[in-house]
A and B are shown apart, each in its own frame.
Chain A
């Protein structure tokens, strides 16, 4: 039975696609057959983050319209086994995704895959609603910043009222908080909401804290999911997140300011 996980946030630019790429890759690395589906119709970007932009032939909307089948459309990741990408379409027609069409594609994918990661577009328009409608679990990506937290709370409201699980009276979507671009230095100075602050306001379980990191831009520049950069803080934080998503208990890291050693304090760095 495939598990459908939506990566969502409401607000744009908080790290949904970065997180989708990292989570999908992490699950595949752990041996689970995984597909990442880009729901951002018209603004396709998952392909760039995953480094497969030049291998896109057909897309999600082609499959829905019966112009191509899944086998022709899915892109197999070259670095990670068990990992596939379903690219979004670049069409400007916002209503290209129909609920029945999406359901058929997800059902088809569910026969093949253990995990289906839905990379949601920003906002609360039809694309975002479609990405979350069929979900079993949700990763709510949030920055420690007022507008992002407020938008996440809105999305939490949607998850509990506008999803298939809600409409059919099933058990609700399991919600996880993923805090990204976290800067412990600024938290310590009282310039940024802390993990505890955001947890208290949104009142959902914390699945991961990704520190603000140079590694993220480097990774997207080169089209390589940051989780593959295993020496980086962000990469390690995503690896921890995957373990938690799979049910392991892992202590949180990168929450506090790293104490600089004697040498570093003198010479900087």
Chain B
């Protein structure tokens, strides 16, 4: 059995898959946690508006609110348009 395992080990191990998945989801959730409560709804509303004109999937839009100094907050909006929709 262990000999068989040895030859099979070319497959990517599950621990590194777990780590990658965690890094992505944790970063995502941290960003959300630090933002105001209305941010997810704002993100959905903006997505709806854009979808009136261009059909883009939900994960192609990112809204973030960044605090710069005491006075200024910057709302950053990133929308990736699919190649054929430009």
Chain A contacts to B: CB under 8 angstroms: 145-146, 149-150, 153-154, 157, 161, 187, 189-194, 197, 200-201
Contacts and interface: CB of A to CB of B under 8 A. Distances in A.
A220 to B, nearest CB: 28
Identify the 7 closest CB pairs spanning chains A and B, nearest first: A190-B13, A157-B33, A197-B19, A190-B15, A153-B26, A146-B18, A201-B22
Interface string B19-48: 101110110011001000000000000000
Interface of B: 13-16, 18-19, 21-23, 25-26, 29-30, 33
A194 B22 contact: no
Given A146-B21, A157-B33, A194 B15 contact: yes
Contacts of B26: 149-150, 153, 201
Contacts of A194: 15
A214 to B, nearest CB: 23
22 contacts: A149-B26, A150-B22, A150-B25, A150-B26, A153-B26, A153-B29, A153-B30, A154-B29, A157-B33, A187-B15, A190-B14, A191-B14, A191-B15, A192-B15, A193-B19, A193-B22, A197-B18, A197-B19, A200-B19, A201-B19, A201-B22, A201-B26
Nearest to A161: B33
Grouping DSSP codes into helix (H, G, I), strand (E, B) and loop, the A interface class, with mixed when no group exceeds half, is helix
A2 B29 CA distance: 34
A161 B33 CA distance: 10
B13 A189 contact: yes
A107 B36 CA distance: 34
A200 B26 CA distance: 11
A201 B15 contact: no
A191 B30 CA distance: 26
A200 B16 CA distance: 13
A161 B22 CA distance: 22
A194 B21 CA distance: 15
Contacts of B18: 145-146, 193, 197
A258 to B, nearest CB: 18
B8 to A, nearest CB: 11
Contacts of A201: 19, 22-23, 26
